[in-house]
Structure 1
Amino acid sequence: MSGSSWLLRLVPSAAPPEPVCSPETLAAARAPLGPGPVGWAVEVARDMAAHIVRQVPEHGGPGAYPPFHRAVEATVLQALRGLLTEPEPRGALVVPEAVAGNAELARRNVPLERVLRGVRLGHAYLHGRLMEALDKEPDEVRIQESHRVSELLFVYADVQASRLAEEYVAERDRWRRGREAARRRIVDDLLSGRLVGGAVAARTLGYELARHHAAFIVTTGSPEATSTDELRLLAAELGRAAGAENLLSVAAGSAELWAWACWSAEPARDALAGLSRLVPERRPLRAALGPVGYGPEGFRRSHRGAREARRMDRFGHTGWLCDYADVSTAALLTADVEHARWFAARVLGGLGADDPRVRELRETLRVYLAEGRSPQGAAERLFVARNTVTYRVRRAERLLGRPLEQDTLEVRMALEIVRLLGPG
């Protein structure tokens, strides 16, 4: 200890401030160090905490400064003890006050890089104050100790940063899982139609139910290359583009996110219709949009509509954002896929065959009926001659086995089903 005995000569520059760390931490430091170095450490910790907060204000948020100050003070006392006795550097040396303060930063969602910046600033500040103290020592002590102190402080800072990073990630994940689980339970109750009090939902979800809601489902085709944060980011962009007042999102697995945007007054249809143009595509992400609904029932129905839009998106007939308003009829026709295939096969007969030429006849007939039986209108949409449309419609009638009657609702429905599901 002879080389490090100068540490025992450290004293505060004035009457030291009152310690803020626990009596146990203070007693453990006083035993090897004595009152002078402890007073010096308390003074330096006060100044260090203020210095870090000036550089990283997140450490001093509302209610956060006293615990942070305690963590800094305990850390400085532990560093002096380490410089004096040189214990083996390991994660267990990181003081409990620092671990507890770090957990609070994780729960407040302060970014990890800001947390670790605080560690680096503290290390640099303490190193500077120790070098100032060493400058007052004889040359042989200063030369011998400068390198040892610098090296050990670097090792201790590295150990602390590693331990705090591990604890931060673990605490953030625990907190998110607990918070997310509570939010998911409320959402599941709402989607099941169970009664949920507005105050309970608002407190747990941070989201008002007595609003107009539009649900989004954001998915990825590449979960191993996409994080939940990326899904949330796209949902947030969609909400902002739609002028939403608030957004709720809950993870529904590693590849799917459920979200709701809300408004006090019902949004204009135009606010939602152009979202795919307002928000850039982010491959491999896709999104489905439900219809606007009011209150808890609207919350549930909009999500159900978004689920149907997502189902229709799987047929590959939509862009990256599938709006339920654009596919509601198709969703209704294909809600029961097996029944829909039976229906189409019965109505279409030979026109439902899996053949490229028959497929061309089906599409021509579908467009012809959609155009109000106008050969010219169908020809323009299909980029063929009018006579070609007339010829194909006659061939389609022969495959149907009957002439097209005035009421062609069943035929139009069957043609749409086969277009979506393919021939059965």
Structure 2
Amino acid sequence: MNVPSAAWLLRLAPRGEVPEPASPSAVLAAADARLGPGPVGWAVELAHRMTEEVIEQVPEHGGGPAPFETLRRSIEATVLTALDGLLREVPPTPDLVAPAAVEGDAEHARRGIALDRVLRGVRLGHAMLHRALIEALEAEPEEVRAAEGRRVTESLFTYADVQASRLAEEYIAERERWRAGSAAARRRIIDDLLAGRAVAAEKSSRTLGYELRHRHRAFVVSATGPDTPSEAVQRFAETLGQATGSQGLLVVRADPREAWVWAGWAAHPPAGLISGLRHRLEPPEGLTAAAGPVSPGPAGVRRSHLGAREAARVGRAGWLADYAENRVPALITADAEQARWFAEETLGRLLGGDARSGELRETLRVYLACGRSPQRTAGLLHIARNTVVYRVRAAEEILGRPIGDDPLEIRLALEIAPTLP
């Protein structure tokens, strides 16, 4: 050990009141024996500030006292390990990564924190440790600063790289172990819920990591073609779920082309959620999504999911179909063959597959939905009022009869038409 240069590390001391350490007493005793109480107090104090900063920059690490302490224990152990390595001038290796950091990394994998966010926290922590050590060096003589500044920078850079690689390997291994152990149990619960079978809400919630007694809004994320990677489906499902701002989130990969999402709230979800998602998000090419109705409790998991599937089946233009906007066509097309017959018999030639027929049907549909107001119809379709009047007359001519005082059957047929191939 180069005592004249590295001895400055033994002079580190906390700047204020030291928080209660997060590390076990045996770890602290060993560190105290090697470094002394001053550097250990410095490390504990700095680790607390680093934890607060990492959670502020990477909120996924937070979530309450327990996640905070898990992260703090990991960071505290890492700082102590780094100080010991710098003092003894030990080259960083994967075996020197603090066990508490590996344990915290496994917890992050089990919590479903994305690996890139975990590694972002590692980089932020090392950057803060580097700044703190360089700041401490400023109080040392010039010859010590010159000798140690570069060594500290190079050593911490290497240690950060080694730690990130080790934690990435451990994360992936733990994630696979966790999935192998829990995925089957989670899927059985989901299958039971979707089949309408009774489940034990409290126990099932623990297994799923999702509160079944909340109010749920389900989403179905689907690939529109075979070329969309399954990873893209899963990533966007997670992005969509997180964007809801819900109090609970469950994401299940149904198959390579589809993922299921449930967002849960103890009370009712915020108003305008769907319009907000449409405004803030844009899925990658080849992906669409559908939202089910808000529904409470374990039975609501099934109700909302089935609504999302129906919205996906009949949803019109736009990447996110909402069941609330599509429940009428979903209802009247539940029997696809009967629905087709009804539309064909009611609309006749107006059901033609050419663009003109489609234009007339949509204008007539909106016109009837607006209480036969040409002005409101024109505003919604962004066309002139006279164009609305002309198209309605043209549609009546093709139908061979006026709309009449009770256009219910025509309205239903017009809702069916867009769902037909």
TM-score normalised to structure 2 length = 0.65
Q: 1:198 to 1:129 in 2, by over 3 A?
A: same
Change (3 A) 1:410 1:280: closer
The 2-side partners of 1:174 and 1:415 are apart by: 54
Once the two structures are TM-superposed, the CA of residue 327 in structure 1 deviates from its matched residue by 0.9
Larger radius of gyration: 1
Residue matched to 2:325: 326
Deviation of 1:105 (Å)? 7.4
How large is the Cα RMSD of the aligned pairs? 5.1
In the alignment, the residues of structure 2 paired with residue 9 and residue 369 of structure 1 have an alpha-carbon distance, to the nearest angstrom, of: 85
Q: Distance in 1 between matches of 2:244 and 2:6?
A: 62
The one of 396, 400, 404 equivalent to 2:399 is: 396
Q: Structure 1 residues 192 and 249, CA, compared in 2 at 3 Å: closer, same or farther?
A: same
Select which of 59, 80, 89 maps to 1:82. Answer: 89
**Cα distance in structure 2, aligned partners of 1:385 and 1:7:** 86
- Per-residue deviation, 1:366: 5.5
Do 2:106 and 2:174's aligned partners in 1 also have CA atoms closer than 8 Å?
no
- TM-aligned CA deviation for residue 356 of structure 1: 4.7
Match of residue 21 from structure 2: none
The amino acid of 1:328's aligned partner reads: R
Q: Is the 8 A contact 1:351 1:396 kept in 2?
A: yes
Shift in Å, 1:46: 0.5
Alignment of 1:305-324 (within 5 A): 305-313=307-315, 315-316=316-317, 319-324=318-323
Please name the residue that 2:248 is paired with.
Answer: 247
Report the number of matched residues: 374
Task: Give the direction of change, closer, same or farther, for the CA distance of 1:302–1:348 in structure 2 (3 Å limit).
Answer: same
Give the whole-Å Cα distance in 2 for the aligned partners of 1:261 and 1:249.
Answer: 8
Secondary structure in structure 1 of the residue aligned to 2:212: coil
- 2:10 and 2:42 map into 1 onto residues whose CA distance is 14
Is the CA contact (8 Å cut-off) linking 2:7 and 2:87 kept in structure 1? no
Paired position in structure 2 for 1:283: 282
Distance, in Å, in 1 between the alignment partners of 2:343 and 2:302 is 31
Evaluate the alpha carbon distance shift between residue 54 and residue 11 of structure 1 in structure 2; reply closer, same or farther with a 3 A threshold.
Answer: closer
Task: Find the counterpart in structure 2 of residue 57 from structure 1.
Answer: 51
Other structure's SS at 2:69 match: coil
Tell me, in whole angstroms, the C-alpha distance in 2 between the residues paired with 1:303 and 1:78.
53
Letter in 1 for 2:295: G
Is contact 1:41-1:77 (8 Å) kept?
yes
Task: Give 1:158 deviation, angstroms.
Answer: 1.5
5+ residue gaps, structure 2, are: 12-23, 55-66, 379-384
The letter for the 2-side match of 1:301 is R
More deviation, 49-58/106-115:
106-115
Greater Cα offset, 272-281 or 301-310: 272-281
How far apart, CA to CA, are the structure 1 residues paired with 2:132 and 2:390? 87
Q: Deviations over 1:298-342 (max 9, x none)?
A: 2211111012112323x42xx554321221121234446566445
The 5 A counterparts of 1:18-417 are: 20-21=26-27, 39=33, 41-43=35-37, 45-58=39-52, 61-62=68-69, 69-82=76-89, 89=91, 91-92=93-94, 94-97=96-99, 99-100=101-102, 103=105, 106=108, 112-123=119-130, 149-173=148-172, 178=178, 181=183, 183=186, 186-217=189-220, 231-232=237-238, 234-238=240-244, 246-252=247-253, 256=259, 258-264=261-267, 272=271, 275-276=274-275, 280-284=279-283, 287-313=289-315, 315-316=316-317, 319-335=318-334, 337=336, 340-341=339-340, 344-345=343-344, 348-356=347-355, 358-359=357-358, 362=361, 383-384=386-387, 389-390=392-393, 392-397=395-400, 412-417=411-416
SS at match of 1:196: coil
Letter in 1 for 2:419: L
2:292 and 2:203 mapped to 1: Cα distance? 24
Deviation at 1:219, TM superposition (A): 6.4
Contact conserved, 1:21 with 1:73, CA < 8 A, in 2?
no
Quick one: which amino acid aligns to residue 207 of structure 2?
T
Contact 1:209/1:296 (8 A) holds in 2: yes
> For the residues of structure 2 that align with 1:55 and 1:385, how far apart are their CA atoms?
65
The one-letter amino acid paired with 1:77 is D
Residue 354 of structure 1 deviates from its aligned partner by: 3.0
The TM-score with structure 1 as length reference comes to 0.64
Q: Distance in 1 between matches of 2:367 and 2:72?
A: 73
